[in-house]
Amino acid sequence: MSRPFLRTELCDMLGIEYPVFSAGMGPVAGGAEPVAKADLVAAVSEAGGLGVIGGVAYSPEDLRAEINKVRAKTDKPFGVDLLLASNFLHVRGGIFSTPAKNAGSEQASPSRDLVPPETRDALRKMAENLGIEWLEAPPPPPTWEVPEGQSYAGAQMEVLLEEKVPVFASGLGSPAPFSRALTDAGIKIVSLVGNARAARRVAEGGADVVVAQGTEAGGHTGKIGTLALLPQVMDAVAPLPVVAAGGVADGRGLAAVIAAGAIGAWCGTAFLVSDEANQPALQKQRILEAGTEDTVVTRLYSGKTMRNITNPLIESWEASGIRALPMGLQGVLTRDLLHSISAAGRDDLLMNAAGQTSGMLTETRPASEILHEMVADASHLLGARLSQRVQVQVAV
Ligand SMILES: Cc1cc2nc3c(=O)[nH]c(=O)nc-3n(C[C@H](O)[C@H](O)[C@H](O)COP(=O)(O)O)c2cc1C
């Protein structure tokens, strides 16, 4: 098959062949290892798209090692995604908790006393109803120390600047504190947003490209659908270019967002089931088996609204009415519950972030195949097919 052809402004801006990112997907359940590691990132970049490392959970040292792994596999451009949350979250042992001030010490993690007794009782009851024995989690493993006077993301950012990675993506927050240094280092800034207000903020904060991420998306997500959000973000940040995310998993989705004015797509769920994604087999299988309505948005796993494949634990959490703690502290609230679940081998109840396109994915495939089919179909749709199906008259 000849190589598909589809170019937009994004290709020229980033030096890539196809206007498609594989999303910088962070940690999988039960570990601090991201979904989007060097294998996936290099496969997508080598195939002509732009692969992005899900860097949020990495220590600076591990982040550098992962960047070097990508460079050993491809000389094509790639990116690193970090979360610039105001309460700089820290991911330890697979749970979202607050940054360590003294890594490994008792003070490093907030105490479970933070959880009101009635909430603990309700969580215990939840476990009991699911047939799970309640266990107290051991202290989280020691982690890297945030250097004095530096923020969590700031320490990671130094690595990006030193390594001069081609693209930095911010999944949360504004790039403003880092944008001058990134731009001076020749690093393009891509910022994800879920509403027009955030879009204006990241545009003012120095983003080169804004990604409008609709509620369809897997992982942390907002309330507005992609098709409604995209034009509002475009209007908010014009003339800055906009990429669409959330719900794009094949050539039809890619063609639709390009036709609506996006210069490309940022895709997570489509690549979650690729051979190269660092995602447990059980979780890939559950995505492949999911139907149209099998994802839900819950604060259970991180304190922030996150789209997941549904499961009985999410259902009972949502029914319980327990208020989630803010991102950064929710991990303290759920630590014993999720530890008990892991110990019982009920991995089906753990976080399985995935988007609404899960319902249309049926097989695992190499990432290059997913990308090339998506691009070939979009190119065919936007070229030959559209002119067969739609008649338009251009006024002269
Ligand atoms: C398992 C998983 C992990 C994710 N982790 C991150 C992350 O660490 N940082 C980030 O910016 N976005 C993250 N996302 C969101 C993606 O970047 C992306 O916006 C989303 O997957 C796009 O929608 P789609 O899933 O419909 O393709 C994650 C998504 C998934 C499914």
- Which domains can be identified in the chain, with CATH numbers? 9-382 (3.20.20.70)
Say what the pLDDT of residue 31 is.
66
Region for residue 193 given its phi and psi (left: phi exceeds 0; alpha: psi -120 to 50; beta: otherwise): beta
* For the CA of 279, the nearest atom of ligand 1: 1
Print pLDDT tens along the chain (396 aa).
Answer: 678 999 999 999 999 999 999 999 998 776 668 999 999 999 999 999 999 999 998 999 999 999 999 999 999 999 999 998 755 444 443 334 444 433 333 344 567 888 899 999 999 999 999 999 999 998 877 677 777 777 888 999 999 999 999 999 999 999 999 999 999 999 999 999 999 999 999 999 999 999 999 999 999 999 999 999 999 999 999 999 999 999 999 999 999 999 999 999 999 999 999 999 999 999 999 999 999 999 999 999 999 999 999 999 999 999 999 999 988 789 889 999 999 999 999 999 999 999 999 999 999 999 999 999 999 999 999 998 888 888 888 887
Atom 8 in ligand 1: residue holding the nearest Cα: 26
Atom 10 in ligand 1: residue holding the nearest Cα: 171
* For the CA of 35, the nearest atom of ligand 1: 1
Using CA atoms, how far apart are residues 194 and 274, in angstroms rounded to an integer?
25
Say what the pLDDT of residue 147 is.
74
In the reported structure, the alpha carbon of residue 275 is separated from the centroid of ligand 1 by a whole-number distance in angstroms of 17
Say what the pLDDT of residue 99 is.
42
Atom 30 in ligand 1: residue holding the nearest Cα: 219
| Residue 376 CA to its chain's centroid (Å) | 25
Phi, psi of 298, deg, nearest 5: -140, 155
Report which secondary-structure segment, H or E, holds 177.
Answer: helix 176-184
Check if the beta carbon of residue 279 is closer than 8 Å to that of residue 35: yes
In the reported structure, the alpha carbon of residue 203 is separated from the centroid of ligand 1 by a whole-number distance in angstroms of 21
Using CA atoms, how far apart are residues 340 and 135, in angstroms rounded to an integer?
5
Atom 5 in ligand 1: residue holding the nearest Cα: 25
- Helices and strands (DSSP H and E) totals, the chain: 15, 13
Using CA atoms, how far apart are residues 248 and 271, in angstroms rounded to an integer?
11
Q: What is the DSSP letter of 358?
A: G
* For the CA of 172, the nearest atom of ligand 1: 11
Say what the pLDDT of residue 105 is.
38
Check if the beta carbon of residue 245 is closer than 8 Å to that of residue 23: yes
* For the CA of 28, the nearest atom of ligand 1: 1
Atom 29 in ligand 1: residue holding the nearest Cα: 219
Atom 13 in ligand 1: residue holding the nearest Cα: 25
Check if the beta carbon of residue 245 is closer than 8 Å to that of residue 212: yes
Tokens of 225: 């659908």
In the reported structure, the alpha carbon of residue 192 is separated from the centroid of ligand 1 by a whole-number distance in angstroms of 10
Gyration radius of the chain's alpha carbons: 21
Atom 15 in ligand 1: residue holding the nearest Cα: 219
| Residue 332 CA to its chain's centroid (Å) | 22
In the reported structure, the alpha carbon of residue 117 is separated from the centroid of ligand 1 by a whole-number distance in angstroms of 34
Tokens of 266: 């940022």
Beta strand 295-298 pairing with 306-309? antiparallel
Check if the beta carbon of residue 216 is closer than 8 Å to that of residue 249: no
Using CA atoms, how far apart are residues 223 and 215, in angstroms rounded to an integer?
5
Tokens of 173: 């927050």
Say what the pLDDT of residue 88 is.
46
In the reported structure, the alpha carbon of residue 17 is separated from the centroid of ligand 1 by a whole-number distance in angstroms of 22
Residues with CB under 6 A from ligand 1: 23-26, 35, 54, 56, 81, 83, 171, 192, 213, 216-219, 245-248, 266-270, 272, 353-355, 357
Tokens of 352: 């399985």
Residue pointed to by tokens 């991911």 = 91
